[in-house]
Amino acid sequence: MDSQQGLQLPPDFFYHRLPNGLEMIGQYMPSLRSVTFGFQLDAAVIHEPEDKSGLAHLFEYMLFQGTKEKDARTLNEAFESLGARKGTSTSLETTQVWAQIVNTRLDATLDLFHEVLLMPTFPRDELEQMRNIILQEIRRRDDEPMSRIFDLARLHFYAGSALGRPIYGTAEDVRALQQEDLLAFWQERYRPNNALLSIAGNFDWERVVAKIERLFSDWQGAASPSPEQHPRPSNTIVLEHQEGKQEHLGLMVPFPNYTHPDYYAAQIIGEALGGNMASRLFVEVREKRGLVYSVSAGLSSNKAIGSLRIYAGTTPEQGHECLAVILNELRRLREEGLTEDELERARVQLKSEHIMRSEGSGARMSANARSWWYERRLRTPHEVKEAIDSVTAEQVMRVLQEFSPLQPLTVAAIGPLSREELIGDLLPLS
């Protein structure tokens, strides 16, 4: 399929595929004067060699540090002269290289991206500087339990897969990474059959297609398929002892992911449980009992599995009671579901957040890329609103029956409490 012929696309949405495999999707937003585009690739944490953790994150920093035609300073000056905001974001499964500009500067910015993606040099002098930045990030992460509590939880929740790897990597691995590792990663993963260009804003689609064909039709090669991930979450308790006056709790349990037909019902559950100041956990754990300084819940998703994540920051003196109340709320949720009032409040909150996000080209570019990458479809903001509105109490109960919020449950904790002091007889888990 080299055009949108035969695809059922909403108005103002576009699709094109180049012969080399590079796919393009677009959403025309005529009320804007800006454009945001991003190249999304299967080039992330799960694609790192096992002994090279942190490679994808270092690559993210190094990609804009020079090309065959421009050194780092000249390249950054070129972007600044266009008024372009640019960046790279690496997740467990994908990486996105993006830019946001005034629509009249789109062609010139795409020229620069052609250099960045197809002619990077990863210079050794810049490598040492970027390596030091990441080592500082790792030290900061290790010094902040709130920042690493879900690294600890993910490691055990995603047992049996690469999804539990730390995004920053380990200090030992990052110190050992070399220019050759970056070049090998680029040569293996940055290939057109592995790439999606998503663009949103005020643009001429035919002109964008023509420009991309001129710049990227010679991009050749094929990346190997992304490795399948098969995590095996189980009932797990993992404690990291750290003296201090805080106890950090991170809970994870399997839940619907992006592609699941009940994903929006799962979002409603997460919002009602811990997504706002009227949520169950905020009211029961913080307002009524004063057990935490912070508590929240939300969804995390990837291709293999989704999860419901709960965070609580408390004191050692209140840690056991805090966990007991959270577990009780999860039992009550499993048994009773949500009230109509909770359902409606969660709907309103999610729709408000969605509407605010959908007004910008950056959010739409990312949302469209995610939808196409995982579902091979493009959802309009109206479709998402309808999906949220259509969630019923019965659907919520069906989700909670299929995905128990208590089984299989990963409980991670960082703080001074022992297993007996924190858990006691709350969880007969191994």
Report all structural domains of the chain as residue ranges with CATH numbers, in order of start. 13-217 (3.30.830.10), 236-423 (3.30.830.10)
d(C-alpha 200, C-alpha 13), whole Å: 9
**How does DSSP classify residue 65?**
S
Digit-by-digit pLDDT tens for the chain (430 residues) are: 445 556 789 999 999 999 999 999 999 999 999 999 999 999 999 999 999 999 999 999 999 999 999 999 999 999 999 999 999 999 999 999 999 999 999 999 999 999 999 999 999 999 999 999 999 999 999 999 998 999 999 999 999 999 999 999 999 999 999 999 999 999 999 999 999 999 999 999 999 999 999 999 999 999 999 999 999 999 999 999 999 999 999 999 999 999 999 999 999 999 999 999 999 999 999 999 999 999 999 999 999 899 999 999 999 999 999 999 999 999 999 999 999 999 999 999 999 998 888 889 999 999 999 999 999 999 999 999 999 999 999 999 999 999 999 999 999 999 999 999 999 999 864 3
The pLDDT of residue 429: 46
Angle at which helix 361-375 crosses helix 340-358, to 10 degrees, equals: 110
Task: Say how many CA atoms lie within 13 Å of 195 toward its Cβ.
Answer: 26
| β strands within 221-281, DSSP E | 236-241, 247-255
The pLDDT of residue 6: 60
d(C-alpha 98, C-alpha 86), whole Å: 6
- Cα distances from 312 to residues 146, 147, 309, in angstroms, run 9, 12, 10
The pLDDT of residue 3: 57
The pLDDT of residue 355: 85
pTM of the model: 0.94
Helices (H) and strands (E) in the chain, counts: 16, 11
Residue where the block lists tokens 């890329």: 369
- First and final CA of the chain: distance in angstroms? 51
d(C-alpha 192, C-alpha 222), whole Å: 7
Burial of 370 by CB count in 10 Å (0-12 exposed, 13-18 middle, 19+ buried)? middle
